[in-house]
């Protein structure tokens, strides 16, 4: 299957272990060049916009004119090719190679390959912020990055929406001192205070249904093994399914976000097209939210009729890891569903 062969080609770019194509790297550039060659081989008109996003536009089967000449009448399909360090084979890349296969098959629509999704959806944000023409609909195929579909024995799932999230930090202060000569009673240990804050962050998320909160980085100063910490910085990543719960979580933790993305809901015809394409194959269109951000959420927030199709993740749903895995059969089925939905949303 050509989709799987292309995934292997992309996986080899940047070297291992895992996929290593961070945004702005020569490896991401090489992946875009490889994708551009596949777009050209598919007979699509290749274009790179001023933000570095890559496009492949199909020509209408009857008139020979480019469907994307009228952006409001076309549908885009695609994803991204940048990765986290030592990432997985499927994250982002599957959505790109599947979109190329689907657009080539049906001869309508456009493929889009966004830049920098893993670092805040840079390419799609730039496109939206600049007021560039947007499509009528956008379809993004992606691995689930979780265990729900595998637990429900479902090969595919339709995404209902993407959680909102905010990032920031908490800073705790204390007083440095000698680890051996300063009595335990009366110490002002910033790391001890930080430990209590980490537990408080966890409890705040547990108290709000559907919310999650993560402290992923801890920076300790002065950082000596025999010095009482005087200052600790904790990173915060908090997420919730809707704006009300996100705001409640931020307030409960008590921090000022440095970066915030509002939740996005998928409610239009594109989502229904995915449901119909799954149902037409005798499968139940299982629906679920996405706890991770995606380019589809950025376009949906800008008013585009966006939708996402998840492919079942194996290995307990692990993602952002070389252990990321989806079956060949599920991938083939997902490409078929994507192609059908592309036709339905382009009519």
pLDDT at 12 over 60: yes
Buried b (16+ CB within 10 A) or exposed e, 220-247: bbeeeeeebbbbbebebebbbbeeebbe
CATH architecture of 164-260: 2-Layer Sandwich (3.30)
Q: Check residue 210 and give its pLDDT.
A: 92
> Is 53 within 8 Å of 114 (Cβ atoms)?
yes
| 181-202 mean pLDDT | 98
CA distance 275 to 241: 21
CA distance 142 to 99: 11
pLDDT at 70 over 80: no
pLDDT in tens, 284-303: 999 999 999 999 999 999 99
Residue (of 5, 9, 37) closest to 21 by Cα position: 9
pLDDT at 67 over 50: no
Is residue 182 classed as helix, strand or coil in its secondary structure?
coil
Residue (of 39, 13, 37) closest to 25 by Cα position: 13
Is residue 30 classed as helix, strand or coil in its secondary structure?
helix
> Is residue 158 within a helix (H) or strand (E), and if so which, with residue range?
strand 156-162
Say if residue 289 is exposed, middle or buried (CB neighbours under 10 Å; 0-12, 13-18, 19+): middle
Are β-strands 75-80 and 218-221 bridged in parallel, bridged antiparallel, or unpaired? unpaired
Q: Check residue 259 and give its pLDDT.
A: 87
Q: For residues 272, 267, 168 and 87, what is the CA-based torsion angle, rounded to 10 degrees?
A: 10
Instruction: Give the chain's mean pLDDT.
Output: 95
pLDDT in tens, 213-247: 999 999 999 999 999 999 999 999 999 999 999 99
| 6-33 mean pLDDT | 96
Which two structure tokens, joined as six digits, stand for 262?
């509002």
Q: Check residue 73 and give its pLDDT.
A: 62
Which two structure tokens, joined as six digits, stand for 292?
């991770």
| 1-24 mean pLDDT | 95
pLDDT in tens, 23-55: 999 999 999 999 999 999 999 999 999 999 999
Q: 69 falls in which pLDDT band (50, 70, 90)?
A: low
- Domain limits, the chain: 2-163+263-346, 164-260
Q: Check residue 16 and give its pLDDT.
A: 86
Find tokens 């001869």 and name the residue.
107
pLDDT cut 90: percent of the chain above it: 92
Task: Identify the CATH assignment for 2-163+263-346 out of 2.60.130.10, 3.40.630.10, 3.40.50.970, 1.10.10.10.
Answer: 3.40.630.10
Q: 71 falls in which pLDDT band (50, 70, 90)?
A: low
Q: Rounded to whole angstroms, what are the CA distances from 201 to 102, 254, 277, 292?
A: 44, 9, 41, 19
Q: 330 falls in which pLDDT band (50, 70, 90)?
A: very high
The number of angstroms, rounded, from the C-alpha of 240 to the middle of its chain's C-alpha atoms is 15
Q: Check residue 238 and give its pLDDT.
A: 98
């Amino acid at each position: 299957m050509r989709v799987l062969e292309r995934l292997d080609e992309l996986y080899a770019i940047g070297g291992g272990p895992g996929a290593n194509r961070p945004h702005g790297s020569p490896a991401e550039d090489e992946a875009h060049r490889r994708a551009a060659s596949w777009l050209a081989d598919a007979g699509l008109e290749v274009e790179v916009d001023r933000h570095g996003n890559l496009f492949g536009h199909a020509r209408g089967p009857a008139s020979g004119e480019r469907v994307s000449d009228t952006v409001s009448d076309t549908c885009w399909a695609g994803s991204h090719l940048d990765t986290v360090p030592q990432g997985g084979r499927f994250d982002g890349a599957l959505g790109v190679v599947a979109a190329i296969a689907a657009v080539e098959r049906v001869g309508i629509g456009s493929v889009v390959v966004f830049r920098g999704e893993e670092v805040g959806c840079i390419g799609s944000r730039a496109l939206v912020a600049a007021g560039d023409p947007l499509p009528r609909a956008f379809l993004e195929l992606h691995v689930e990055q979780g265990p729900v579909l595998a637990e429900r024995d479902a090969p595919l799932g339709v995404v209902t929406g993407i959680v909102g999230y905010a990032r920031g930090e908490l800073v705790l202060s204390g007083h440095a001192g000698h680890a051996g000569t300063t009595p335990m009673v009366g110490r002002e240990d910033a790391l001890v205070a930080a430990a209590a804050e980490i537990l408080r962050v966890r409890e705040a998320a547990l108290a709000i249904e559907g919310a999650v909160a993560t402290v992923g980085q801890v920076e300790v100063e002065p950082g000596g093994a025999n010095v009482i910490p005087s200052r600790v910085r904790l990173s915060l990543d908090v997420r919730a399914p809707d704006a009300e719960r996100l705001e409640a979580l931020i307030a409960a933790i008590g921090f000022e976000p440095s970066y915030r993305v509002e939740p996005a809901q998928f409610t239009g015809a594109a989502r229904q097209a995915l449901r119909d394409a799954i149902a037409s194959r005798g499968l139940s269109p299982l629906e679920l939210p996405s706890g991770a951000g995606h380019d589809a959420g950025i376009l949906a927030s800008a008013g585009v009729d966006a939708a996402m199709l998840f492919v079942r993740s194996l290995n307990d749903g692990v993602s952002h890891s070389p252990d990321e895995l989806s079956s060949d059969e599920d991938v083939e089925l997902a490409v078929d569903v994507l192609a059908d939905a592309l036709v339905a949303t382009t009519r």
